[in-house]
């Protein structure tokens, strides 16, 4: 498998730092570096900015940086062509010029997909016109822009007042479910569809359904085509959590549930589980393996992350 796309300049230092320990001694002509994972997957960054992934886990590695492009640079990249999705394509248009309204709406968002430890948590929330001022007064916005301390303070108030549906996809289920054919984005799409179905069945008077876009609409519906019931008429936006209170509320509730689960897992293990997928995560994972055995990671970590290969090594 080979995936190639043009990397934005602001992400080049992050890519270099991420793969530094895996650099090969020799690099191809005009390459900044070439690195190799333990499973043989080769990552090459060229001076032109072209980033190439070749090998069995090329899609996993590429999706990490495609997701970064989405969050930091508002880019939606097609993994098949390596090109940015064009807003001129009506079917997959990203309506960035849309001005959010105060319509009653349902929005969904997820957390935990970039964390080695802990579950994936997805929430859909319904926000009526009457509840918009309540959320504004709490300072509701994207959970990534609010401290964890603030989330622990305001999330219980949101959970009590705002209708929502939350699904927790634990690590053991994730490790059984994730395969070469079922990647992270497909898992996210399936979970989003489920929480939206749960909320819609309660017949709240919504006028919009919004998802923070992580894949093109065409790809999203392709991921869930085998589901018994499918929520349609969804509007997809990048950075929707910054634009819509229903998505922001879902982001905060999901983050709150994730933090609580991480805290419970940390207490059970007798050590604090760090968030993300950094070198610190590798150190703690190694301690856990030394103390409880490698099998313990199955119930607390996402084993397809490259952290697992480092621990095995």
Q: Which of the residue ranges 37-46, 75-84, 109-118, 303-312 has the most confident prediction, judged by mean pLDDT?
A: 109-118
Tell me: pLDDT of 311 over 70. Answer: yes
Task: Answer whether residue 143 shows pLDDT above 80.
Answer: no
pLDDT at residue 301 above 80?
A: yes
Q: Which residues pair with 14 in a beta bridge?
A: none
Q: pLDDT tens, 157-212?
A: 999 999 999 999 999 999 998 876 788 899 999 999 999 999 999 889 998 999 98
Give the model's pLDDT for residue 71: 75
Tokens of 150: 């603030």
Is residue 96 predicted with pLDDT exceeding 50?
no
Contacts of 146 (CB under 8 A, 6+ apart): 139, 154, 252
Question: Which candidate, 170, 193, 199, 141, places its Cα nearest to that of 262?
Answer: 170
pLDDT at 142: 59
Neighbours of 290 (CB within 10 A): 9
Amino acid 7: pLDDT: 95
Mean pLDDT of 142-164: 89
**Pair 287, 271: CB distance under 8 Å:** yes
* pLDDT value for 182: 80
State how beta strands 105-111 and 31-36 pair.
unpaired
The confidence score (pLDDT) of residue 94 equals 44
Q: What is the pLDDT of residue 242?
A: 81
Q: Which residue has the higher pLDDT, 93 or 86?
A: 86
Look at the domain 2-84 and name its fold.
Answer: TATA-Binding Protein (3.30.310)
Please determine, for residue 243, whether its predicted confidence score (pLDDT) is greater than 60: yes
User: Who has greater pLDDT, 37 or 264?
Assistant: 264
More confident residue, 88 or 256: 256
CB 82 within 8 A of CB 72: no
Q: Structural domain boundaries of the chain?
A: 2-84, 105-262
The whole-chain average pLDDT of the chain stands at 88
Query: Could you identify the residue written with the tokens 């690590």?
Result: 171
Residue 43 bridge partners (DSSP): 35, 53
227: confidence class by pLDDT, cuts 50, 70, 90? very high
What is residue 139's predicted lDDT score, i.e. its pLDDT?
Answer: 85
pLDDT in tens, 22-56: 999 999 999 999 999 877 889 999 999 999 999 87
Write the CATH number of the domain with boundaries 105-262.
3.30.420.10
Answer whether residue 88 shows pLDDT above 60. no
């Amino acid at each position: 498998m080979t995936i190639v796309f043009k990397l934005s300049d602001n992400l080049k230092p992050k890519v270099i730092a991420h793969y530094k320990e895996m650099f090969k001694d020799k690099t191809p002509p005009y390459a900044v570096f070439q690195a190799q994972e333990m499973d043989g997957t080769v990552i090459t960054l060229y001076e032109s900015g072209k980033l190439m992934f070749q090998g069995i886990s090329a899609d996993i590695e590429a999706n990490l940086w495609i997701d970064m492009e989405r969050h930091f640079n508002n880019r939606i990249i097609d993994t098949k062509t390596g090109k940015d999705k064009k807003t001129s394509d009506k079917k997959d248009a990203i309506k960035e010029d849309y001005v959010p309204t105060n319509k009653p709406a349902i929005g969904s968002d997820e957390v935990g997909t970039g964390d080695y430890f802990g579950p994936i948590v997805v929430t859909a929330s319904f926000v009526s016109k009457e509840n918009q001022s309540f959320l504004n007064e709490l300072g509701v916005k994207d959970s990534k822009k609010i401290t964890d301390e603030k989330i622990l303070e305001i999330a219980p108030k949101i959970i009590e007042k705002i209708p929502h549906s939350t699904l927790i996809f634990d690590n053991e289920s994730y490790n059984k479910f994730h395969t070469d054919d079922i990647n992270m984005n497909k898992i996210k799409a399936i979970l989003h569809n489920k929480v939206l179905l749960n909320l819609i069945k309660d017949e709240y008077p919504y006028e919009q359904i919004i998802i923070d876009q992580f894949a093109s609409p065409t790809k999203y519906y392709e991921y869930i085509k085998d589901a018994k019931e499918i929520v349609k008429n969804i509007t997809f936006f990048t950075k929707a959590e910054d634009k819509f209170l229903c998505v922001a509320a879902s982001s905060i509730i999901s983050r709150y549930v994730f933090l609580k689960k991480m805290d419970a897992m940390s207490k059970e293990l007798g050590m604090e589980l760090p968030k993300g997928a950094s070198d610190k995560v590798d150190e703690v994972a190694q301690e856990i393996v030394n103390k409880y055995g490698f099998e313990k990671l199955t119930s607390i970590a996402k084993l397809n992350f490259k952290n697992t290969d480092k621990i095995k090594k």
